[in-house]
Structure 1
Amino acid sequence: MGKVNLYQVMDQNRSFVDRVIEESGQDIRQCYQCAKCSGGCPGSVAMDYPPNQIIRMLMLGMKEEVLNSKTIWVCMGCSTCTTRCIRDIDVARVMDTLRQEAIKAGYVGKADYVISFNESFLWTVKSFGRLFEPGMAMKNNLKTGNYMKDMQFGLPLMLKGKASMFPHRIKGRKEMKNIFDQTIREGK
């Protein structure tokens, strides 16, 4: 990371920190840095900074480092950190807000696969009213260029009846589509 002039960084990025606090509804300034969130995080082994360090970096206004971190994309949103927080900070909600901020600001280099997976998942729910795993996997593999990824699992799962080649469509797909369309119109 190198040397950082904290006073300069805090002044430059105060509006960003305030926006994250407002958008997430979480006052990160209440964090004691006890690291209970990081100690319980099942994804911390794959993160470049544990959750408590992301919160601290955010408190210090280190916008570039936070939005460029792998941590915000590795976070699974399982809320283990939130449950463990002694200050009742919803760390998972902060991570979600940081992902949204990273997308708005164009910091998605480390997130291409995460965004592709999310879009593929939502496409299947919008199209069929529920998750259709083989369809989601195929769409995601096409989007990421990993055409044969996980191919060896498909046939055995289908032969055992664990996956279907065709989606099960629910009643009320039109209502589901309307929910998606309304969400897009409202910009959420």
Structure 2
Amino acid sequence: MATAVLRLPAGETALDPGFPEEVARLSGQPLELCFQCQKCASGCYPTQEGDYTPNQIMRLIQYGARDAVLQSRTIWLCTSCETCGLRCPNGIRMAEVMDVLREMAVAGGISPSGETAPLFHRLFLGEVRATGRVQETMLMMKFKLRTGNLFSDVDLGWRLFRRGKLPLLPRLKKDPAVRQIFQRTGG
């Protein structure tokens, strides 16, 4: 039996018929209600930098285009501002969907080529998991070391440090509520 494929500008992608149900279950959103009114796309600011608009991501999910969606740059650009969810006439919270897609991509080791957002995402969650909060200096040092740009923002870092916005020592106070969140979500 031949695998169904979808032709996209970036090439062909195989279709996974179980993908829409998986995303709907994990996000808790009624994806089948999307009728492509494009109201989500009209209010999405990162759309100009992404490869797809939110409604196109939704349509790709509905088709089952797992690889195209999880390799998309758009899912990493979403700021979860909730503008799309507020505009949706069917109450689909696209920010919840995008969050699930990012988690699926991380779990599968998938990221768009050249994109550093997945690395930042993993480092950020690792900091929260380890310390219960984000220690900005350590997070940025780890990120800069991993991307090979350790000294690219030294002047900005110095200005933030002088204004007391970038502490050198973390305020370590483990919060049991944070640990419970990670345990509940399996992270």
What TM-score range do you get, normalising by the shorter chain? Answer: 0.7 to 0.9
1:71 paired with 2:70, answer no
Query: Which residues in structure 2 correspond to 1:1-188 (within 5 Å)?
Result: 1=8, 12-110=15-113, 113-170=116-173, 173=174, 175=176, 179=179, 183=182, 187-188=186-187
CA contact (8 A) 2:61 2:69 kept: yes
Matched residue SS, 1:43: helix
* Structure 2 CA distance for partners of 1:16 and 1:111, relative to 1, 3 Å: farther
Matched residue SS, 2:150: coil
* Structure 2 CA distance for partners of 1:169 and 1:156, relative to 1, 3 Å: same
Unaligned runs of 5+ in 1: none
* CA distance in 2: counterparts of 1:176 and 1:76, whole angstroms: 24
1:81-138 Cα shifts (integer Å, max 9, x gaps): 1111111001111111222222333322448522322233334444554332222211
Q: CA deviation at 1:159?
A: 2.0
CA RMSD of aligned residues (A): 2.9
* Structure 2 CA distance for partners of 1:139 and 1:79, relative to 1, 3 Å: same
Match of 1:41, as an amino acid? C
TM-score (norm 1): 0.80
Percent of aligned pairs sharing the same letter: 34
Unaligned runs of 5+ in 2: 1-7
* Structure 2 CA distance for partners of 1:87 and 1:146, relative to 1, 3 Å: same
* CA distance in 1: counterparts of 2:31 and 2:128, whole angstroms: 34
* Structure 2 CA distance for partners of 1:186 and 1:96, relative to 1, 3 Å: closer
Q: Which has the higher helix share?
A: 1
2:4 maps to which residue? none
* CA distance in 1: counterparts of 2:130 and 2:104, whole angstroms: 28
* CA distance in 2: counterparts of 1:159 and 1:5, whole angstroms: 51
TM-score (norm 2): 0.80
Equivalenced residue count is: 180
Q: Which has the higher strand share?
A: 2
Match of 1:108, as an amino acid? S
Q: CA deviation at 1:169?
A: 3.3
Match of 1:84, as an amino acid? R
Match of 1:146, as an amino acid? N
